[in-house]
Amino acid sequence: MTKTAITRIGTPIVPRNKADPTQSARPVGRMYRDIEQRYLGIKRNLKELFDQRLTGQQRQGNAQQSYLVCNNDDGPASFYKCNAGTYTYDMIAAQLADLLQRVQTILDDALLEGGSQNLWALDYVAAEYERGTHQAFTNLSVQSPVYAQQTTLMQLLSAPAYQNQIAAAYVSTYSDWVGLSDAARADLANVVSDAIGRGINPRETARIISKRLDVSMARAKNMAQTEQVGALRKAQWQETDWARERLGLNTKLLWLSALKPTTRRWHASRHGRTYTTKEVEAFYAENSNRFNCYCSQIPVILKGDGSISNNGLTHKLEEELNLWKKTDSDT
Ligand SMILES: [Zn+2]
């Protein structure tokens, strides 16, 4: 009697903005602005600290054109032009140690605000996790009347599996930010010690420190995007699996690539294909696939033969990929 209604599969909702299939531009932008404010605060506090503590006398004589070298996590080291031998700092080892201790406090206060239990970044990550669950819920609801009848968003958000995923995201997010703050401290300690040792004047030192903070901020933004979009994807994967386990639906993940000029070929080539959650997880565990990735995977319910219910959608996605390949080879 209602068998046809139950087995009929609806078409999945594919985001209209092709360049942003996870629809994360706005939440990522919000977290970026938060990060910018935090680094602005760090710069202000460090300036005040260095103005007070980095004192001494200008040295007479010949300044030596030189470079201060800083290592970068990703890519070659940076070289900053400076004049060595122009300044004598009146600072003993204990004062330097105390200064670096304060640098760490300033960094941690801004980047680890809230601590492991309530880190500021966790709000953003949790919000994306919820948004991903909501998107998966909406998508599965339009595809399956069975799913729509038997699932509520509240039920998903209060499930222990959901709570466990959030808890796991908290742990990894916190350790990401601890790593970032530690790396920034080590980097600034290197600059300050080097500047004092080689007599680079406080003004030049401050300029290099500001540049190093910009490098750290760029890294923070990359990390934030990876965390946010990663949480959104995980939520989509989780609900895809759960719908299969709970309701016996033939779910898989439909890959949507952003197909930007910068999209990696092996990310783009997945556009329009379907994968199991395990396959997708394996992809993201490899190399640096999860960094700077704008791809999305949305739940789809497949027909008995394993194809997407709507042929038109399959063809449309194929055409989009072909168009990208064409423009990609033109450039
Ligand atoms: Zn990607």
For the chain, give every domain's residue range: 3-39+54-330
For the segment 113-124, what is each residue's pLDDT rounded down to a tens digit? 999 889 999 999
Mean pLDDT throughout 205-221? Answer: 97
Q: Report the alpha-carbon distance of residue 228 to residue 284 in Å, rounded.
A: 14
CA of 245 to the centre of ligand 1 (A): 27
Mean pLDDT score of the chain = 93
Whether 6 shows a pLDDT value over 70: the answer reads no
Q: Report the alpha-carbon distance of residue 165 to residue 130 in Å, rounded.
A: 11
pLDDT, position 329: 67
pLDDT, position 330: 62
What tokens does 253 get? 């993940």
CA of 109 to the centre of ligand 1 (A): 33
**Count of CB atoms within 10 A of residue 225's CB?**
20
pLDDT, position 272: 96
Asked if 272 and 321 count as a contact pair (C-beta separation under 8 A), the reply is yes
pLDDT, position 161: 87
Query: pLDDT-based confidence at 1, cuts 50/70/90?
Result: very low
The sign one gets for the Cα dihedral 310, 316, 320, 325 is positive
Query: pLDDT-based confidence at 86, cuts 50/70/90?
Result: very high
CA of 244 to the centre of ligand 1 (A): 25
pLDDT, position 5: 45
For the segment 24-35, what is each residue's pLDDT rounded down to a tens digit? 999 999 999 999
Query: pLDDT-based confidence at 45, cuts 50/70/90?
Result: very high
CA of 175 to the centre of ligand 1 (A): 23
Whether 4 shows a pLDDT value over 80: the answer reads no
Q: Report the alpha-carbon distance of residue 79 to residue 37 in Å, rounded.
A: 27
CA of 289 to the centre of ligand 1 (A): 7
Query: pLDDT-based confidence at 3, cuts 50/70/90?
Result: very low
pLDDT, position 227: 95
Mean pLDDT throughout 119-135? Answer: 96
> In angstroms, what CA-CA distances link 314 with 29, 94, 271, 273, 279?
31, 67, 10, 8, 20
pLDDT, position 318: 95
CA of 297 to the centre of ligand 1 (A): 10
